[in-house]
Amino acid sequence: MPLPIRPEVASLPAYVPGRPAGGAGGGAGGPAYKLSSNENPYPPLPGVLEAVTAACARMNRYPDLANTEATEALAGRLGLGTDRVALGTGSVAVLYHLLQAVSGPGDEVVHAWRSFEAYPIAVQLTGATGVRVPLTDGARHDLDAMAAAITDRTRAVLLCTPNNPTGPALDHDAVAAFVAQVPEDVLVVVDEAYVEFSDRPGVCRGPELLDRPNVVVLRTLSKAYGLAGFRVGYCLGDPELIRAVRAVSLPFGVSIPAQAAVVASLAHETELLDRVAALVAERTRVVDGLRGLGWDVPEAQGNFFWLPTAAGTATWNDRFAAAGLTVRPFADGGRWDGLRITVGETEANDRVLEVAAAHPR
């Protein structure tokens, strides 16, 4: 007898994690660098490590189900009530919960493509159908086309700003105008995983759109806050939606050390944001360098940038690998084949520029 696995699950595309840094260390014999998962290259701040270590002493107990201290810290930081914040084991988990709360078989979820590869998986898991709206030539969301793609069956629209993997951020005014056109019974998920790295004036500020009950903002501690290994993300939204997300969530998902890491990280936010500023400066340096070499790099507002290697994606991926750099290739023969490269250690960024300069594009 076949096992009763739902067809949506049996046919799920696999999430492709960024490969670890290769052991070889590159032709130059130096260290290898992982630039494939948009992680923060800095070690934890001392206060964070100490708080987490102390929290580990309570490992015989279940975590606080309500994530009380972490929720209070995040809500306080954002000037929102605690009834407007729901935590989960990474913002991808929170996205799963959101979609599970609003969509099912027969429904549609609209999102840009190419965009975050977790979206098609999260949509398919609910049994709903994903509606992919192509990016513009500038690697941006086509908000007009996304609005036009909304039908009676649409339950949610996913906006990724800055867009992973291509880099551009949405303009706040454009998102506000978009949201005003979306029916109130359609959720607008504003995924701001990289918002701390956005320095262009006028980029989307999701929390300022929360007066609309159908807007929900997704944030994560994995990128700017450097807590990818602890799996903490959250959403901000209407209290009714927040209750639904909490109801759907796995009980006790966010671990005791992870909750402690959130509280401690927010207490050291100034230092963390100094590091973010240094990464943004590095991003500007590398992207300017690549453009100077003739690469048409789209606007980069996260801690990564897009190299449009098109049909040469595998070749360029090998060139970076030979230099000890693990980057993230996307190659399915479509318009958006290319490499997503994380801004990492200064030496790693230097090496990206060296590889690019060594080969005519």
Ligand X SMILES: *Cc1c(COP(=O)(O)O)cnc(C)c1O
Judged by the rule CB under 6 A, the positions of this chain that interact with ligand X are 38, 90-92, 116, 160, 164, 191, 193, 220, 222-223, 228, 233
Question: Residue 206 gets which letter from DSSP?
Answer: G
Closest C-alpha to 185, from 247, 241, 120:
241
Least Å distance, CB 359 to ligand X, is 28
Residue closer to ligand X, measured from CB, 115 or 355: 115
Closest C-alpha to 205, from 255, 169, 258:
169
Least Å distance, CB 93 to ligand X, is 6
Q: Token pair for residue 275?
A: 């590091």
Residue closer to ligand X, measured from CB, 194 or 320: 194
Least Å distance, CB 232 to ligand X, is 7
Q: CA 39, CA 154: separation in Å to the nearest integer?
A: 33
Least Å distance, CB 241 to ligand X, is 18
Select the residue whose beta carbon is closest to ligand X and give its number: 90
Please say whether the beta carbons of 302 and 164 come within 8 A: yes
Residue closer to ligand X, measured from CB, 233 or 308: 233
Least Å distance, CB 339 to ligand X, is 15
Q: CA 106, CA 235: separation in Å to the nearest integer?
A: 25
Half-sphere exposure of 20 (CA within 13 A, CB side): 3
Q: Residue ranges of the alpha helices (H) in the chain?
A: 7-10, 46-56, 68-78, 91-102, 118-125, 143-148, 172-181, 239-248, 256-267, 269-292, 313-322, 346-358
Residue 29: which region, alpha, beta or left (left: phi > 0; alpha: psi -120 to 50)? left
Residue closer to ligand X, measured from CB, 219 or 351: 219
Residue closer to ligand X, measured from CB, 87 or 355: 87
Least Å distance, CB 187 to ligand X, is 16
Residue closer to ligand X, measured from CB, 131 or 227: 227
> Alpha carbon 263 to chain centroid distance?
21
Residue closer to ligand X, measured from CB, 37 or 346: 37
Least Å distance, CB 360 to ligand X, is 31
Residue 124 is which amino acid? Answer: Q
Least Å distance, CB 242 to ligand X, is 17
Q: Is 83 exposed, middle or buried (0-12, 13-18, 19+ CB in 10 A)?
A: middle
For tokens 């901000």, the residue is 236
Residue closer to ligand X, measured from CB, 90 or 338: 90
